[in-house]
Structure formats: structure tokens, C-alpha cells
């Protein structure tokens, strides 16, 4: 992934808000993966004896679980790319030159 230098960039209010939104999106994507894994483990082991747990393990599609957990990353990248693009297009008038370069770099790095 390409790096986007932020040395000396002074972010305005709209950029700070967008960066905060990106952090929140990342936290939610991580939470989603954790919750999904936790729910499967709970389904397998909670209130199941050894035979029930063994059956649940045998019948659980772990490949599908892995695919579902990995799906949050492309969604996060797309949402972050959309946000960076909107900063370039919709907020260009309120951004300084350094911020514009940063958001263009972010858009190109994560698209």
C-alpha cells in the first residue's frame, strides 16, 4: 500500500471529521469480525456437552466463516475510498493544498 505523508499537514475541521469517521469504520469492521467469531464459538461450546460440541464442530462451515470474516475488509476499503473521494470532490473548497494532496493520496492508496 502506498504511504501518504502527513508531515506538516494541518487538518481542518472537515478533514478531522473524515479521519474520525475512518477510525470509527475501522473499529466497527474489527468489532464485526470479533462478534462473528465469538458467536460461532459460543454456538459450538455454550450449553453443549462433548458430544454436542463435537457435532457442532463437525457441521460448522469454517471456510464460510473465514470468508464472512474477511468480507469486512473489502467493505471497509470501499467505504474509506468513498470517504476520501468525497473529501476531494465535495470539500475541495475548504481544504488547503496539503490536505488536498493527502486525500488524493489516500484515495489512490485504498481504491
> What pLDDT, in 10s, does the model give residues 33-85?
888 778 877 777 777 777 776 766 666 666 766 777 777 788 888 999 999 99
The closest alpha carbon to 84, from 62, 64, 103, belongs to 103
Local confidence band at 110 (pLDDT 50, 70, 90 cut-offs) = confident
- Torsion angle, CA of 17/3/83/35, rounded to 10 degrees? -90
Instruction: Please check whether residue 106 is in contact with residue 18, taking contact to mean a CB–CB distance below 8 angstroms.
Output: no
**pTM, rounded to two decimals:** 0.70
Question: Domain map of the chain by residue range?
Answer: 19-110
Amino acid at each position: 500500500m502506498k504511504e501518504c505523508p502527513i508531515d506538516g499537514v494541518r487538518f481542518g475541521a472537515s478533514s478531522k471529521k473524515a479521519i474520525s469517521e475512518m477510525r470509527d469504520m475501522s473499529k466497527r469492521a474489527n468489532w464485526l469480525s470479533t462478534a462473528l467469531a465469538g458467536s460461532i464459538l459460543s454456538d459450538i461450546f455454550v450449553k453443549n456437552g462433548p458430544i454436542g460440541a463435537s457435532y457442532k464442530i463437525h457441521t460448522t462451515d469454517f471456510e464460510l466463516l473465514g470468508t464472512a470474516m474477511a468480507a469486512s475488509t473489502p467493505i471497509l476499503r470501499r467505504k474509506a475510498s468513498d470517504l476520501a473521494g468525497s473529501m476531494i470532490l465535495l470539500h475541495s473548497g475548504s481544504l488547503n493544498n496539503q490536505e488536498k494532496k493527502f486525500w488524493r493520496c489516500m484515495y489512490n492508496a485504498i481504491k
